[in-house]
Amino acid sequence: MTMVLSIGCTSINTPRETGNNDNPKQVEEDNKEEEKITESHNQEKEEPTDEIKLQLDEMTLDEKIGQLVLVGMDGYDVNDNVKELIESYHVGGIILYRKNVKDSNQLLSLINSLKSSNSSNKAPLFISVDEEGGVVSRNPNEVKKLPTARSIGKTENSSLAFEAGRLLGQTVKKFGYNMNFAPVLDVDSNPLNPVIGNRSFGDTIETVSTMGLEMFKGIKEEGVIPVIKHFPGHGDTSVDSHIGLPVVDHDLKRIMDFEIVPFKHAIDNGADVVMVSHILMSQIDPEYPASMSSIVINDILRDKLKFEGVVITDDMTMGAIEKNYNIGDAAVRSIKAGTDIILVGHNYEKAVTVFNAIKTGVDTGIISIDRIDESVYKILKLKEKYGLEDLVIEDLNVEEINRDIGKLVEKVKQN
């Protein structure tokens, strides 16, 4: 009786049955064919192209450093200094203040001009503003003010907080802004606090966490980047950081259990940008304020809270920094500590100083190019995520804006 042995499968490395296993040429051809098939399979498994990485690799050092600087300007129009900051220093963003706003038409024209001035750069601008509602408003006078955060917090109506955030987002977006430094997530726990007050939703972590998150969601709903502030918490201070350096003496446990809770809540719900304040946390980092502290930015914000987004400083031209540090040195220290964007809200010369200080830091090896690339990648990724484009806006209906704000004001009063 004849026995037949059947082989069910063959290894890729095993030559095919050819009828003549002693033919070296045939075996070689078969093995090459198998290699082609294997290579084809491997190519199919390759990761998709990272367009942000390609964009980053094509940027000059000056273009990269520019993305790390967000600047203010003087006047109602794009002057020579602003053009130079955009065209020569390639700054990544602009912040506008009340001093830059005359009326609705002028503001719209200014923002359109800023975007047009950026046409030769590889990345669109952040066009940013502090529009919190209440006392901190940069809108033109003909636009009604939204309610304060405190008045919204007192309603204990989270849907109103969401609606307020949505209107904030809608309003600034109609003028051409794409980033809003709001909401304020500071818990107003110190009655002597000279700077937060009714900018906060309240004096409990529950109110600030709940209402702040809803306002954050509302702003984001409109495609505007919300920036939560002022990490790790400006609520229990008795010094205005615009004037001097506030010192907070709480230990890490207290900070984590109280001040940081609203920020953690927002981070866990998708916050993309955190503003770090100029506050000296004496028991956490007695040497540097939060905006320059690796302990605060890396150990707490990044490691403990798992925040992977963009970190921006509060304005480096504030008294807390200028009265205690050289602004260039402070910017370098902040970048080394983990900050991604340095905010220079006032003064052309100071913006140039910050740019040059960072560049010198790279040239001398104080800041590694990898550290720069890490931040620029996050910034470009954020701009892509929100679909930022330097498109001009032609139509503006102030009456429509005021009608919607008026409705919200009445709802807050009724609650």
- Asked if 104 and 142 touch (Cβ cutoff 8 Å), the reply is yes
Active-site annotation holder among 188, 272, 285, 314 = 314
Q: Are 262 and 229 in contact (CB under 8 A)?
A: no
Residue 141's CB is within 10 A of a number of other CB atoms, namely 12
What CA–CA distance (Å, rounded) separates 15 from 10?
8
E-strand ranges in 251-347 read 273-276, 280-281, 310-313, 342-344
The dihedral region occupied by 365, where left means phi > 0, alpha psi between -120 and 50, and beta the remainder, is left
Structural contact between residues 308 and 275, judged by C-beta atoms closer than 8 angstroms:
no
Q: Is 118 left (phi over 0), alpha (psi -120 to 50) or beta?
A: alpha
242 is catalytic: yes
Question: What is the distance between the alpha carbons of residues 415 and 410, in angstroms, rounded to a whole number?
Answer: 9
Name the 3-class secondary structure at 217.
helix
Which of the residues 30, 103, 203, 242 is marked catalytic? 242
In DSSP notation, 67-108 reads HTEEE---SSS--HHHHHHHHTS--SEEEE-GGG-S-HHHHH
Which residue, 157, 136, 138, 156, is CA-closest to 147?
A: 136
Whole-angstrom distance, CA of residue 7 vs CA of residue 9:
6
Cα–Cα distance between 162 and 330 in angstroms, integer? 36
Its sign, for the CA torsion 29, 35, 37, 40, is negative
314 classed as catalytic: yes
Residue 342, judged by CB atoms within 10 A of its CB (0-12, 13-18, 19+), counts as buried
Q: Which residues are catalytic?
A: 242, 314
